A and B are shown apart, each in its own frame.
Chain A
């Protein structure tokens, strides 16, 4: 299959056209103008996701599984077991997203357990995973512009 230009480049190109060719034709502040600005921001996020999301989910999943593996908590252990029981290896988006979702459930349970037990070191190591996750999400969001408000 043809992979050049990349999905990211094509979406970025579409955004540029919307910004430069379509937006100037619309009344500033009109519902149509607001909608186009929102679409541009969403599409830019889609471009970033197209380029990175499978790798990011894969990396985050591996880090989560490693971090929660030794945690002595029933809910965490059950979530981890569900993750390990899921089919491994598929690289289609839905397959990766499913494994990521299962690992994320284990992370949520582990965080609750760390605060219940008062284990500060564990709290910090799990929070580092959340920070990494948030950094990826912020790369998708980009510059948050609250268009259409006020």
Chain B
């Protein structure tokens, strides 16, 4: 993927070795795709003969950029295993078929099904009533949040408890502040504020980690397809809901906010959660908490640029999102404080 001109030959040799009984492997096209934030993406049309029949497939290749252009260091094998687990548990996502550690495709790469669904962002641009997708969004989130932990890849770290996880996640704001190249008191504010307003706990589950419109697609019958599992981990499922809402503030529409009551009702119904565990105020709490993983990675990439360790302008460009985020954290934390105070008085 690092050298697109070499890829057809590399891919043909890779598939010839990977697909049992495959012969006459041909790569008919190989196109670099845009839209990948942290990974290199390409689309390949391939065919091979197996048992006398011709098989034609369209794969999406998702691989690591070179280290000096890398914004986020994540593990392709873990992502491959997560995608397999999602597909096996009925989550609507393009299944992963092959993984290469970089030995044959020049960089760690996953081969996924190409999805014919429409990008959610493209769909929303032409949709008259986006609120139609609020319930499907709740169903998409619940589809992977409710998978038992025992079904998830063993290489995903299991936190000791939901409470310990939340504490660690809050402390991640402080650790991020301490590790950055300049003082960012907003991060300490957020940590202190989150600590002071903890919500009722829910059980740990798989979280997507980058659950936002640009990682979603829509099928013709309005079901949501989830893409890009590189940041998946075990955590508090409400982080994904808050994260979605957070990104939607910068890139509307906010499908949750269009009908928060319908979203929470459907989500709680599928997850078996109470109104106390998931409601609009709790989602707003996680709008703040749920972005720390991304905030840390964006700041690390920006810091690496400032130290001269990363040459990707993308790192600086995306670090600006943190500035937008902090205005939102301030706004939501103040609104929530008022809501909590009003509830206490009542």
Contacts and interface: CB of A to CB of B under 8 A. Distances in A.
Contacts of B313: 35, 38-39, 42
B121 interface: yes
Interface stretch (A1-9, A17-25, A140-148): A140-148
B323 A29 contact: no
B121 A115 contact: no
Contacts, number: 102
A145 to B, nearest CB: 9
Contact of B35 (A107, A109, A112, A148): A148
Contact of A133 (B186, B187, B196, B250): B186
A72 interface: no
Contacts of B188: 108-109, 111-112
A131 interface: yes
A101 B182 contact: yes
B317 A105 contact: no
Contacts of A137: 323, 326-327
B27 to A, nearest CB: 21
A127 B334 contact: yes
Contacts of A138: 323-324, 327
Given A131-B330, A138-B327, A104 B183 contact: yes
B316 interface: yes
Contacts of B105: none
Give the size category of B's interface with A.
35 or more
B213 interface: yes
Interface string B307-332: 00000011011001101101100100
Contacts of A140: 323
B150 interface: no
A111 B122 CA distance: 42
A127 B189 contact: yes
B257 to A, nearest CB: 18
B330 A130 contact: yes
A54 interface: no
A140 B185 CA distance: 18
Given A104-B183, A127-B189, A149 B214 contact: yes
B119 A150 contact: yes
A82 B213 CA distance: 45
Contacts of B120: 150
A32 B37 CA distance: 14
Contacts of B34: 29-31, 34, 148
B188, B195, B316, B321, most chain A CB atoms within 10 A: B188
Interface in B169-198: 177, 182-189, 191-193, 195-196
B87 interface: no
A146 B32 CA distance: 20
Nearest to A135: B327
Interface string B246-269: 000011000000000000000000
B232 to A, nearest CB: 19
A134 B196 CA distance: 22
A92 interface: no
A141 B323 contact: yes
Contacts of A148: 34-35, 37, 314
A107 B193 CA distance: 15
A45 B313 CA distance: 14
Nearest to A133: B186
A144 B184 CA distance: 20
Contacts of A80: none
Given A149-B37, A150-B121, A42 B186 contact: no
Interface string A120-141: 0000001100110111011011
B330 A127 contact: yes
Nearest to A148: B34
B183 A42 contact: no
B183 A144 contact: no
Given A34-B34, A108-B185, 17 more contacts: A29-B34, A35-B313, A42-B317, A102-B183, A104-B185, A109-B188, A130-B185, A130-B186, A130-B330, A133-B185, A133-B186, A134-B323, A137-B326, A138-B323, A144-B250, A148-B37, A150-B120
6 contacts: A101-B183, A109-B188, A111-B188, A115-B193, A130-B186, A144-B321
Interface of B: 32, 34-35, 37, 119-122, 177, 182-189, 191-193, 195-196, 213-214, 250-251, 313-314, 316-317, 320-321, 323-324, 326-327, 330, 334
